[in-house]
Amino acid sequence: MINTLRSELLRTRRKGVVIGWFGLTILFTVMINMVMAQVVGSSNAQPEGGPGVSFPTLDQWQAADGITAGLSSAAGMYGVVALSFWAIVTAGDYSSGLIRLTASAQPDRVKLLLGKVGALVLWTAAVTTVALIADLVIAPVAARSADLDVSAWGRDALPTLAGAWFNLFATLLVWGVIGLVLALVTRSAAISISVGVGYVLVVEAVITAALDAIADWTPGATLGALAQGGTSAIPYGTALTLGALYTLLGLGVALVVFKRRDITD
Amino acid sequence: MSVIKTAGLTRRFGEVTALDGLTLELPRAGVIGLVGPNGSGKSTLIRMLLGLIAPTSGTAEVLDEPIGAPGRYLGRVGALVENPAFVPGLSARANLMSLARLRGLPAPRVDEVLRTVGLTGRDAEPVKRFSLGMKQRLGIAAALLPDPELLILDEPTNGLDPSGIVEIRGLLADLARAGRTVIVSSHLLAEIETVCDFLVVIRFGHLVYSGPVTDLLARTGQRIEIAAEHARDTSSLLALLAADGWQVEHASEDRLSVTAEERQGAELNRCAARGGITLTSMTPVRGSLEEIFLEMTGTSDQDLTAARAAAAERKAS
């Protein structure tokens, strides 16, 4: 499996992937912090969010872990980026025909898939780190522009940053696995991304509106809660468990689909 | 000793039967041509041999291992399937390195195959800048990476210039001389005739021919083209030969085509001399692989489509 991981890392190291993924991550970090500075304002009322975005209150932003509020607020947006890149890298093998070459060079499809997943997990860790670093640079600038009192931000810096990193990483991992499954099933990056984005923007909102009972179980809500370190509706432990379940379920489906389906065109 | 053995190998895609009970045995060492019209099942066969798709029924062995366990033999097999596929943004070397890592091969092997296909010096360029011919060379380099016992190449000379074709032809011959087996799937029948020792012809998923190329070529009636010294004697010569029992027709205005083997040239000459006609040329002509192929498989895509529809109709009724 190490061979497939090394091989996959070499292929995913291409300029387009690095610039695209890192660039979008930085762009979203800048955007969310700047918008947050505008919408959070001076009152402590809960600002309105949007699809994939939930802003903190003023108190939450000013708290010790507020410096990373941008990351958890935009977790849905980062998630769509992660889903897209996992899907592009996976479906790209089919559209380019590269899958024929790799599958005949490494006939053990489980190893082949786990190598790809391993490489994408490492990339996801790198992107999470880039997002965190970008946030550490941008958040103080945004806070200053909103005249925010951020004196608490220096306290417990290490656990705060480590927690934020892990929560975002775990969230992106689940989104990525969803992208992987969609790409393996549809063999099309465009369809996978459309389905993923469509789900976040439309489908989950409709499901939640129609079936209130499962609102706390849906992927979007679960991953939003995971990124924020838990919410009043979904505690951190529940979010973590559900996230792990989604990941395992997704990987299971991906393995079965990849192992059993023919590689034709 | 056979390199590939299949028995009743069948693959259906929904209603379409791409390969229908294919039974064949291919000898080890040498260059084997795999030919057939579009949609005949060549690609399906190659994909099954490479473990990319599973058969609907039947069995097959590659290098004495069942195709159900491709992990046991694919380390000894190199393949170029359809168009060479690479990551366009990566260099030729990085693409090959990625495949070498996948196979657990050492980095120097990449230099060796780059040298073999003549891409040393261009290896740092991204593949997206490569011409079709260069991509083809890179595809062959990728297939050569594992130093394979069995090499399966789909249209290996596609996009190559004449000198490139000669180089690849030489490379295939060298591999065959070294005891390797090379299977070449191609539409270029003249190329197949030049390069291959053994031929497999498939049509509608059925085996039409499997055997030495020479045996197949020998099946066609040989002809001898002759010309009289004076063009005005051509008609008299035709009448003379026909009267003597030869099967003869005009090849052109002043040349006749006689159905005869090369060793019957002297008899022809004597017959012409008896009529007082001197022959100025006598050229043995043998049917080309292309002619034989068209005879066996149909002359055009329309023929094939019509024949396939008729076969499906017969099956349905």
C-alpha distance from A188 to closest chain B C-alpha (Å):
17
Separation between Cα atoms, residue B177 and residue A147, nearest integer Å: 80
pTM (2 decimals)? 0.81
Give the span between the Cα atoms of B47 and A235, in whole angstroms.
50
CA distance A113 to A258: 8
CA distance A81 to A175: 9
Q: What is the mean pLDDT of residues B104-126?
A: 89
Q: Is A4 on the interface with B (CB under 8 A)?
A: yes
What pLDDT score does B194 carry? Answer: 83
Rounded mean pLDDT of chain A?
A: 86
**What is the pLDDT confidence band of residue A162, given thresholds at 50, 70 and 90?**
very high
| A174 pLDDT higher than 80 | yes
Confidence category of residue B168, pLDDT binned at 50, 70, 90: confident
Residues whose CB is less than 8 angstroms from the CB of residue B235 and which lie 6 or more positions away in sequence, other chains included: none
Residue of A nearest to B96 (CA): A7
Q: Given the structure tokens 């610039």, which residue do they identify?
A: A19
In chain B, the domains with their CATH numbers are 2-218 (3.40.50.300), 221-285 (3.30.70.270)
CB within 8 Å of B62: residues ≥ 6 apart: B3, B4, B49, B70, B73, B77, B150
Report how far apart, in Å, the C-alpha atoms of A93 and of each of A96, A186, B73 are: 5, 12, 23
pLDDT band at B316 (very low <50, low <70, confident <90, very high): low
Taking CA A91 as the corner, what is the angle to CA A89 and CA A94, rounded to the nearest 5 degrees?
115
CB contact under 8 A, B85 and A100: yes
**ipTM score of the complex?**
0.81
Task: Centre a 10 Å sphere on the Cβ of residue B125 and count the other Cβ atoms it contains.
Answer: 14
- Which strands make up the sheet holding B223-228, listed edge to edge? B248-252, B255-259, B223-228, B279-285
Structure confidence at residue B141 (pLDDT): 92
Which of B72, B102, B185 best probes binding to A when mutated, by most A CB atoms within 10 angstroms?
Answer: B102
pLDDT at A52 over 80: no
Least confident of A40-49, A63-72, A221-230, B39-48: A40-49
CB contact under 8 A, B102 and A4: yes
What tens digit of pLDDT does each residue of B149-167 get?
999 998 888 777 888 788 8
Q: Which of A232-241, B230-239, B261-270, B289-298 has the lowest mean pLDDT?
A: B289-298
The pLDDT tens digits for B68-102 are 999 899 999 999 887 788 888 889 999 999 999 99
Does the pLDDT of residue A265 top 70, yes or no?
A: no
pLDDT at A73: 83
Q: Which helix (H) or strand (E) holds B186?
A: none
- The string of pLDDT tens digits covering residues B15-37 is 888 899 999 999 988 899 998 88
State the CB neighbour count (10 A cutoff) for residue B299. 11
pLDDT value of position A264: 73
Task: Note the pLDDT tens digit of each residue in B182-205.
Answer: 999 987 777 888 888 899 988 888
Q: Is A11–B77 a contact, with Cβ atoms under 8 angstroms apart?
A: no
Q: Is B102 close to A102, i.e. CB distance below 8 A?
A: yes
* Confidence band, pLDDT 50/70/90 cuts, at residue A46: low
**Does the structure show a pLDDT above 90 at A12?**
no
Q: What is the pLDDT of residue B307?
A: 56
pLDDT band at B312 (very low <50, low <70, confident <90, very high): low
Q: In this structure, are residues A122 and A82 in contact, taking their beta carbons and an 8 Å threshold?
A: no
Interchain proximity A104–B102, CB inside 8 Å: no
Range in A20-24, B34-38, B68-72, B299-303 with the lowest mean pLDDT: B299-303
Query: Could you give the angle at the alpha carbon of B151 between the alpha carbons of B148 and B156, nearest 5°?
Result: 135
Check CB contact of A186 with chain B, cutoff 8 Å: no
Q: Which residue has the tokens 């898939």?
A: A113
- Does the pLDDT of residue B278 top 90, yes or no? yes
Query: How far apart are alpha carbons B158 and B8 in whole angstroms?
Result: 31
DSSP character for A212? G
Percent of chain A exceeding pLDDT 90 equals 36
Buried/exposed code over A108-125 (b: 16+ C-beta within 10 A; e: otherwise): bbebbbbbbbbbbbebbe
Burial code (b: 16+ CB inside 10 Å, e: under 16) for A83-98 equals: bbbbbbbbbbbbeebb
Q: What is the percent of chain B with per-residue pLDDT over 70, rounded to a whole number?
A: 92
| C-alpha R_g of chain A | 19
Q: Please, which pLDDT band fits residue A18 given cuts at 50, 70 and 90? A: confident
| Domain locations in chain A as residue ranges | 2-260
User: Is the pLDDT score of B304 beyond 60?
Assistant: no
- Chain A residue numbers touching B142 (CB-CB < 8 A): 101
* For range B258-274, the mean pLDDT: 89
Residue carrying the six token digits 């979010």: A239
Please say if the pLDDT value at position A96 is more than 90: no
